Amino acid sequence: MDGLIDSKIDEGSVLIEANSNVVGHHLKAKKRPLIDVTVGAKRKRIVGIDENECETADHSRKVTVGQPYCVDKSDWDSSCVVPSIAKSDWDSSCVASSIAKSDSSSSYVVSSVASTILGVKLTLTSIESSEYGQNISPLVVEFASETNGRLHVKAYDPNNARWEVPASVSPIPTPPSVAPTSPQFTYQYAQVGQPFFFKVIRKSTSEVLFSTAGTSLQFADQYLELSTTLPTNYNIYGLGEHVRPLRITPGSSLTLWSLDIQHPVDINLYGSHPFYLDLRPSGDAHGVFLRNCNGMDVKTDTNLLTYKIIGGILDFYFMLGPEPEAVVQQYHEIIGRPHMPPYWSLGWHQCRYGYPNIQAVEEVVAKYSANKIPLDTMWTDIDYMDAYKDFTLDPVNYPTSQVQSFVSDLHSKGMRYGLVCYTRVAKTQVSKGLVCFTRVAKTRVSKGLVCFTRVAKTRVSKGLVCFTRVAKTRVSKGLVCFTRVAKTWVSKGLVCYTRVAKTRVSKGLVCCTRFAKTRVSKGLVCFTRVAKTRVSKGLVCYTRVAKTRVSKGLVCYTRVAKTWVSKGLVCYTRVAKTWVSKGLVCFTMVAKTWDESSNILVGNVWPGPCAFPDFLNPATTPYWQTQIASHVNGCFQIAKFRSNFVDVDGLWIDMNEASNFSNDTTDTLNGTAKALPEANDPQEIHAAADGHPLQNGHSHRGHSKGTGARCAQFSPNDPPYAINNSGSKAALNTKTLDMTAVHYQGVLEYNCKNLYGHTEAMATHTALENIIGKRSFVLSRSTWPGSGAYTAHWTGDNNSTYEDMHYSIPGMLSFQLFGIPHVGADIGGFEGAATEELCSRWTQLGAFYPFARNHNGLGQPPQEPYVWSSVAAITRDVLAIRYSILPYYYTLFYKAHRPISPGNAPAATVVRPLFFEFPTDPKTYDIDQQFLIGGGLLISPVLKQGATSVSAYFPAGKWYDWYSHEVVSSAGGETKELPTPIDHIQIQVRGGTVIPLQCPALTTAASRSNSFSLLVALDTAGNATGDLYLDDGESLSMSQHTFIAYQATCSNLTATVTDTGYAANCPPLTRVTIIGVDGTPSHVELNGAAIDFKFNPATSELVLPSLDVKMSMQFAITWA
């Protein structure tokens, strides 16, 4: 039934629940609208016969709009069945108020329903076309109850395989052999003959969580649309990656399309994460994951959320929670648990783009040391490379021997070294082992299409690159020529194309006849002018190319009259954007970016012409490992330019959207050496895949804008629906690869673009762990669901502004939902000049990011913390806190990493929005200027210039000041204005928490050798809990570890130790501080023996200062 159904209409609804018996009566088989029926104070909806009437189950009562009763059975036959309506609902008080014709506008009706082991399978038939192409028919929708808390709903084409995210890239949960016995959900769906809809309902409350009723499903080749109704004042989070507030509000348009762009608000960024969490006022939450990596817009309205997708299938997972934390953990079970980071990666990191040489890097490390500022990892940006080529060192500014000496010195001091690595390989680096995107196959040339043709090898070897639109017979003769010009025009001796003599080619000139000698002598490659009168006749007219363009080495032609192009002739051009935007057919010379020796696609990035490894190809991972190995330990030195190596500890993979500098949309190939032509025969696109079937889901389907008809053309770069790329509906190939680039097994870039960074992270993670034999540290800019199993993330090229400092918090919190907990922003900002005050405040905040790195851009003023003495002092203080809580942080990462198991303590996110811990407190729903580390530490930074206080919200519970241990709030649900001078950040400890601590040092290596302590913050009932995970911080196998659970009550604290495999290697517990103690203790005992203690009655603080407890020992501390 295609009507607006909400939770107020559940009881007595005609909608049938899953696995319920179908009780029905027959209606005439046609599209049926819905009737709003008022029964007392309740509103119900039933199917109408026509625009004025409906009838009851026993056919005895018919209701006309505005009238109670009448009977007319002439419209009934046996062609359709719908559920019955209770007779009790029909009496003289029942009036059909209106029939909503718009509710019957569904594009699909249900043609069959069949039971399956885990649920039900519906077959749908299309009854109308989409605005963006003909809907696929039939369509299958399967419902599968996979766990008690997870429902899987998948819509797909049963007759033609469409592109889906491969299981090799993103895990697919294994369905159970039998349905779960106690699902938290039920679902409803349309029956045979009804317009399609489905609803997901929380069984315990009967609350509708997801409902497509009243909306229209669209499933065309390049356009999929599905909507769900939402409650008023909904609370939605997720759907990244964007710079924006944490909570998604009505009127949002969220584009998911990975893009190399500098941090604009509300515009698609580097990653794509089609997951959202929906929190209801009851405190119950659920999650929705769409397993689709194609480009999409997700739009929100007052009571509606709509997906608009340009490919793939609809593959939904619903997670029932009901706590927000439980929803996220259920989601991570689907996409993959987050990676367990090496301990050193939780320390402080330093980098900038613009360290000119290795001496400058050495100076930075020395100044950190001289200022006693902790530093664990030093990074170098692209500056270290030879001509910006991956896996190389600049022989002048970063000579191998000096870099090796520097890294060796870092390691001797317990520090680490990391390098940036871009997702491209310079053309000069391409070896025979490189697996890259494929250009169009030779078979296409023989069909005479408008495309770049391969020429004889002898000609190519001389650097001559030509385009042609010639008959096959001409190509077979080995002629290299251009498009034909009218014979009468050529016969008059006017400007035309001609074969160039070998002697001319040897000089590098590509030119035409009738050049003035003086112009040729200047080295210009151009054509003479033709009189304007000739142009008006539609003849070809070439104008002179500006010298500045020639000086760049471009061999190009200028704008040709539209009348000539409109005749379908090929023209060569590099023209203004406004001209290309008119849809004219034009190409550009690519002599500098063509690889003549193979089918490698080439783009333009830092080194110039670059190839892009195809990480969908299984052969690429060992290739990538070979390249990385040359940097890490030199064990695979197979090429001359890779003969040098550096013992790096981590890799930072940047610009892996993938970025391409050829972003001028006049260049329809966008810097690539080969791409499929616009709007070409889809069979030709298939032929481009070297014989592999294209697994892109398009088969032979194309599109036709606005007509609703299926046509024979498929347009990857210009799909019928334009997602709001870059905030301006920019072309899909803007600043990236062409959408027609071909990956392994014929997969088009159009389908898999959003996976590029994810697949590179997978390959890099695997390579590092294979080479080093320890846990990897990978830092990736572009991500997709499941990337957290392989990589950390930083939020990209932000700005040195207070606004961007604030936005770093919702960005960090969103990535906790997305399963990438190891995340942070460039502290101080990447672009712009960071002031002393901004650097102070951002360092205070950034010290509590899971990934903490100071980083800024080329040409910007230095912003290392030692640049200002005040910032140096603030950094020392705040990093002392960070390094002291690293055992707590590391334990949280362990709890995020380990799988959900009955034998384990509950899994947990690392940092959290306040509503995670207080889901029934509506005041927490919008808070994104504060955050929690675990459930126990509340961080409230200053985010405004010149501010010396913070307005901090304290939910229910007891909150202690980190520094003084005094109670800050115990009333619950109150906002306080707290004085916060420039050298201070607000940190509160939540009552009920045990925080494990370790004495800080200047590196994590040194701090791991220091003694442990515990901070026990009792809640109002006198209780607290906490835990601690210990291991060596780097081993791939985490079997040798220790886990300790702490529990405190009003008068005792116990430690229960399990898995003691690592505790013997740990320093001891030497101090315990208990705050919130009720009364003054007279004695304290450890395992029955009296011990020394101190008590401060002003703060109710009990301190045990002189302990020497092995971490492997279980203990009980009591006080009275």
- Report the length, in residues, of the chain: 1120
Coil, helix or strand for 629?
Answer: helix
Coil, helix or strand for 51?
Answer: coil
Amino acid at 990: R
Which of 654, 667, 749, 928 is labelled catalytic?
654
Q: Which among 187, 129, 494 has a CA at the least distance from the CA of 318?
A: 187
Return all residues near 687 (Cβ < 8 A) that are at least 6 apart: 441, 443, 444
Which of 376, 657, 749, 760 is labelled catalytic?
657
Rounded Cα–Cα distance for residues 1022 and 37 (Å)? 56
Instruction: Give the helix ranges, DSSP H, for 864-982.
Output: 869-884, 886-897, 914-917
Structure tokens of 160? 């033609």
Bridge partners of 81, per DSSP, are 26
Instruction: Tell me which DSSP letter residue 577 carries.
Output: H
| Cis previous bond, 138, omega within 30 | yes
Structure tokens of 748? 């088009």
Rounded Cα–Cα distance for residues 657 and 258 (Å)? 5
Structure tokens of 579? 């001209």
Under 8 Å between Cβ of 120 and 114: yes
Q: Please, what's the largest Cα pairwise distance for the chain?
A: 115
Q: CA angle 51-54-60, nearest 5°?
A: 150
H or E element, residue 535: helix 532-535
In angstroms, what CA-CA distances link 252 with 203, 289, 306, 377?
A: 30, 18, 11, 39
Q: Which residues of 196-220 are buried (b: 16+ CB within 10 A; e: fewer)?
A: bbbbbbbeeeebbbbbbbbbbbbbb
Structure tokens of 411? 């390691």
Under 8 Å between Cβ of 344 and 376: yes
H or E element, residue 188: strand 185-189
Under 8 Å between Cβ of 721 and 222: yes
Is 72 a known active-site residue? no
Q: What phi, psi does 366 have (nearest 5°)?
A: -65, -40
Order of all β-strands in the sheet with 296-301? 218-219, 224-229, 304-309, 296-301, 253-256
Amino acid at 1005: A
Is 1027 a known active-site residue? no
In angstroms, what CA-CA distances link 544 with 525, 526, 590?
A: 9, 6, 19
Strand ranges in 564-664 using DSSP code E only, listed in sequence order:
602-605, 608-611, 650-654
Rounded Cα–Cα distance for residues 1048 and 181 (Å)? 37
Amino acid at 102: S
Rounded Cα–Cα distance for residues 659 and 605 (Å)? 7
Return all residues near 74 (Cβ < 8 A) that are at least 6 apart: none
Say which residue the tokens 């590179």 belong to. Answer: 760
Which of 146, 381, 797, 928 is labelled catalytic?
797
Rounded Cα–Cα distance for residues 844 and 825 (Å)? 13
H or E element, residue 120: strand 119-126
Is 654 a known active-site residue? yes
Rounded Cα–Cα distance for residues 109 and 1 (Å)? 9
Q: For the chain, how big is the Rg over CA atoms in Å? A: 33
H or E element, residue 766: helix 756-772
Bridge partners of 256, per DSSP, are 296
> Active-site residues: which are they?
654, 657, 797
